């Protein structure tokens, strides 16, 4: 798939262009981030005191959302050219760790949508000789939510970390739950640091997996929607290497062309 074909697919599938993410939702998250609400920080501790207008300007520059303060409702827009450029940088980092056979850790807070994307990367990196780490497998983690503490298990499916409801192991329960929390990656990295395998050279994922790893000084790359300012602030401040702007909650099959594009550019096609 060429870059122009990928761009066309992004627009046709609405992974970029006019996306399903609402403008109201994005602006709400920008305000929460400016107020340093943990629900929006998702593991990042910003060095700079970002205001709402500065965040809107950053997200316009990094994602292509409208910078018009008067545009307060409707659908967000992500610039497909920015998505393609970020996927190129994402693939370059994959190719680099593959050449050095460096250890990696993959995790997602969107398992229902993105598990297939990350699992394909895990398989390709493993085939290239990269250890795909699985620290803290089965660990029970209490994650604070607006509904109170929710207990989940840290599991790995096809090399990808995700959170599952207790008792959800086994066939037919491969997806897990949606979470933005950085607690899973913090616990996984803590266990990895004390193990023979050691820490990963690169963390690949989304939400708290990326921001939590980057905050702890581990190189991280991942996918971020227009309502995920933390990833793009982390990139701007130098703690996230690559943040790819796209709709992260679309149909899982829409991400398959992205997988092929990234693996081909990284010279990891099987």
User: How far apart are the C-alpha atoms of 135 and 191, rounded to whole Å?
Assistant: 6
In a domain, residue 137? The reply is yes
172 falls in which pLDDT band (50, 70, 90)?
Answer: very low
| Residue 224, strand partner residues | 245
In a domain, residue 270? The reply is no
47, pLDDT greater than 60: yes
pLDDT in tens, 71-90: 999 999 999 999 999 999 99
In a domain, residue 52? The reply is yes
Q: Above pLDDT 90, what percent of the chain?
A: 91
User: How far apart are the C-alpha atoms of 82 and 188, rounded to whole Å?
Assistant: 31
169 falls in which pLDDT band (50, 70, 90)?
Answer: low
For residue 249, what are the domain limits?
3-265
Q: Are 220 and 203 in contact (CB under 8 A)?
A: yes
Q: How many domains does the chain have?
A: 1
pLDDT in tens, 116-150: 999 999 999 999 999 999 999 999 999 877 777 88
232, pLDDT greater than 90: yes
In a domain, residue 82? The reply is yes
* CA 93 from centroid of its chain's CA atoms: 14
């Amino acid at each position: 798939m060429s870059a122009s074909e990928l761009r066309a697919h992004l627009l046709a599938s609405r992974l970029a262009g006019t996306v399903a993410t609402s403008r109201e939702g994005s602006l709400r998250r920008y305000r929460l981030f400016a107020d340093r609400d943990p629900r929006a920080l998702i593991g990042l501790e910003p060095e700079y005191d970002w205001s709402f207008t500065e965040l809107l300007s950053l997200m316009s520059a990094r994602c292509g959302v409208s910078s018009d303060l008067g545009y307060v409702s409707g659908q967000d827009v992500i610039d497909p050219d920015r998505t393609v450029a970020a996927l190129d940088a994402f693939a370059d980092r994959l190719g680099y760790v593959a050449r050095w056979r460096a250890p990696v850790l993959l995790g997602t807070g969107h398992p229902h949508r993105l598990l297939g994307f990350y699992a394909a990367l895990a398989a390709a990196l493993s085939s290239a000789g990269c250890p795909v780490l699985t620290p803290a497998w089965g660990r029970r983690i209490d994650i604070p939510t607006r509904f109170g503490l929710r207990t989940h298990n840290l599991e790995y499916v096809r090399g990808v970390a995700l959170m599952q409801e207790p008792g959800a192991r086994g066939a037919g329960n491969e997806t897990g739950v949606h979470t933005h929390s950085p607690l899973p990656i913090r616990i996984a990295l803590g266990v990895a640091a004390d193990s023979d395998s050691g820490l990963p050279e690169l963390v690949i994922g989304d939400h708290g997996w990326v921001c939590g790893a980057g905050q702890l000084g581990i190189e991280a790359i991942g996918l971020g929607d227009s309502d995920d300012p933390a990833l793009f602030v982390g990139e701007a401040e130098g703690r996230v290497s690559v943040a790819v702007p796209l709709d992260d909650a679309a149909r899982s099959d829409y991400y398959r062309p992205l997988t092929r594009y990234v693996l081909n550019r990284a010279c990891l096609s099987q």
